Structure 1
Amino acid sequence: MVDMTQSPTERGALARLWAEANAIQKIAALIGIALVLLAVFAPLIAPFDPLKQSLISRLRPPVGFDRHKAGFWLGTDELGRDVLSRSLYGLRLTMMLAMLGACIGLLLGGTLGLVAGLRRGWAEDVIMGAVDLQIAVPFTLIALLILSIFGSTLPVMVAVLGIAGWEQYARIVRAEVRRITGLPFIEAARASGGGLRYIALTHVLPNIVSPLVVQFTLALSNIVILESTLSFLGLGVQPPTATLGSMVGYGRDYMPTAPWMVIVPALMIILLTFSVQILGDWLRDRADVRLRGR
């Protein structure tokens, strides 16, 4: 019978990749895996309904402190809701928004960068002009303007996060396309009658996957920070639905008396951005042949 599991070569490659990672990268990978599992299985792990209120149990501290209430391991908030349950669901929503935003940015920026690199002329000028404009204006101000006009609904929030950072993808793809299209095999494809779409899908895209994957991981941490900032300012996902940023924002008024309301979600934000950033740097080092020998 044929073994459908991983081949020895694949297992060896994964083992070698893990062995080449330093201690910080291994810790970041383990933290990232743990956070993903917590987010995916939040409905099974959370001990309580994150929206369930109990004013009798409000502002109870975590386990180990006076006035702790059994079952509420990380304490409760101002409405008696379980901080652990809300943090798990907040992590789940924050990661979902970050993934959706990064995917939209990848598709939008990658497509425009591909068009700019292949078409040249006025199309390239318009696209790169839009890139320069977004770089020149702080995106937080753009996000605040959009959310104040169209409201803080979930679709608007996803759209705002999606257009955050698209210019980075566009610049990377355009530069890589212009480099690749000057190589001999592209000239050979053109000489053999290959159209623009055929060249883009068959020859160009497979050769720019690596930098796009690296940029995708780096963009995730930036989107998490942006979402947390907007939610902290009250312009993100509206209550009672919680994200990590909104939990920090609403808990800041209770810092002197109930610091756990802020510490728990803030720690999750720090761990999430730390793991994604370190893994993004790791992927960049692995993808760039000039950095492998260092």
Structure 2
Amino acid sequence: MRRDVPRYALAVALIAVALLPAALGPLFAGPAGPRSVSFASGAGHWLGTDFSGRDVWRQVLLGGRSVVLVALAATVLAYLVAVPLGLTAALTHRAWLEDALMRPLDVLIAVPSLLLVLLVAATLTPGPAGLAALVGLAAVPDAARIVHAAAAETASRPAVEALRMQGESWWRTAFGYVARSMRRTLAADAGIRLTGALYLVATAAFLGIGVEPDAADWAVMVDRNRTGLFLQPWAVVVPALLIAALSTGTNLLFDAALRRPRRPKGKEAVDGSGR
């Protein structure tokens, strides 16, 4: 456990660096001041100004909430749909029902998530809530396959059959035993899923989906200010680093939580001898 303390500390620090500005930034952003020269440095602006002369520091404080909340909401939505779907397919004894639930997902997996978002956005104009729903539903096929594969292995154990013979409800068998048994797999997948959601939300924002073209949004800041990267890099580097910090910190946290404690050598020797 002690060996994991630095890993936990680094993960929490990275997550805090991204979440604190996202959660508390709007409280300290203050009113918008007069616009200055585009891509200017100094002149009362800590991080300079962006492509339209707005203060970069204020845009950073205001721009995290949309990216973080949409990505988190999309990840939660994906699992709210994928977990019951995968568990139902894994625990059913009806092959036709399993095929009916899982085979359509195989077709959706073949469609790139970004293409799916673009196709829907071409006919609708999603806001932040709509973008979260789109990104979450786009992640359902992959997440459901992971849940189904992990649950199918657990469902074949004698303990599950014993629970059925005892008359336990499907809900208690599925969520009380099977879902709990695969929580490590779900936790490992959640870190990857959140990273994918952040990437897809940021990419959609680059394309103007779900946010206004000049919105205070970290992803929009990276896209709109990249033309002046060498003139005023902070407008691109700071929001990009904050997105990367949240993604890296989340995966480090899950990785540290999933690490099994190592047994002392003496204990391994006793166990290995069968005593």
Give the structure-1-normalised TM-score: 0.79
CA distance in 1, matches of 2:259, 2:207: 35
Aligned in 2, Cα 1:283/1:147: closer, same or farther, shift over 3 Å? farther
Letter matched to residue 230 of structure 1: A
Q: What displacement does 1:93 show?
A: 1.7
CA distance in 1, matches of 2:58, 2:138: 29
Gaps of 5+ in 2: 269-275
Q: Distance in 1 between matches of 2:10 and 2:176?
A: 37
Deviations 1:26-72 (A, max 9, x none): 433311123222222213343x34xx3623454321xxxxxx222x2
Name the residue aligned to 1:87.
Answer: 60
Give the aligned CA root-mean-square deviation in angstroms: 2.5
Superposed displacement of residue 162, structure 1 = 0.9
Distance (whole Å) between structure 1 residues aligned to residue 172 and residue 49 of structure 2: 58
The one of 224, 245, 257 aligned to 2:219: 245
Q: What SS does the corresponding residue of 1:41 show, helix, strand or coil?
A: helix
Give unmatched runs, 5+ long, in structure 1. 1-15, 62-67
Give the whole-Å Cα distance in 2 for the aligned partners of 1:264 and 1:206.
39
Q: How far has the Cα of 1:209 moved from its partner?
A: 2.5
Change (3 A) 1:57 1:208: same
Q: Select which of 6, 15, 22 maps to 1:39.
A: 22
Of 239, 246, 261 in structure 2, the residue corresponding to residue 272 of structure 1 is 246
Deviation at 1:105, TM superposition (A): 0.5
Does the CA contact (< 8 Å) of 2:90 and 2:98 recur in 1?
yes
2:14 maps to a residue whose letter is I
- 8 A Cα contact 1:150 1:156, kept in partner: no
Distance 1:267 1:181 in 2: 42
Are residue 54 (structure 1) and residue 37 (structure 2) matched?
A: no
User: What is the number of residues matched between the two proteins?
Assistant: 262
Change (3 A) 1:152 1:202: closer
Letter in 2 for 1:77: D
- Specify the SS of the correspondent of 2:138: coil
AA at the equivalent of 2:89: A
**1:109 positional shift:** 0.9
| In 2, Cα distance between equivalents of 1:266 and 1:183 | 45
Q: CA deviation at 1:141?
A: 0.9
Shift of 1:284: 4.2
Judged with a 3 Å threshold, the aligned counterparts in structure 2 of structure 1 residues 277 and 192 are, in CA distance, closer, same or farther, namely closer
Shift of 1:25: 5.9
Moved more, 193-202 or 220-229: 193-202
**1:229 equivalent among 182, 197, 203:** 203
Looking at structure 2, the residues matched to 286 and 91 of structure 1 have their Cα atoms a distance apart, in angstroms, of 34
Q: Structure 1 202/78 Cα, relative in aligned 2: closer, same or farther at 3 Å? A: closer
Post-superposition Cα deviations, 1:86-111, rounded to whole Å, max 9, x if no partner, equal: 11222222111111000000111111
Q: Tell me if structure 2 keeps the 8 A contact 1:53–1:80.
A: no
Change (3 A) 1:198 1:279: closer
Alignment of 1:183-262 (within 5 A): 183-262=157-236
Residue in structure 2 matched with residue 142 of structure 1 by the alignment: 116
Deviations 1:86-144 (A, max 9, x none): 11222222111111000000111111101111224222112221222222221111111
The equivalent residue for 1:103 is: 76
- Find the aligned partners of 1:142 and 1:246 in 2 and give their Cα distance: 20
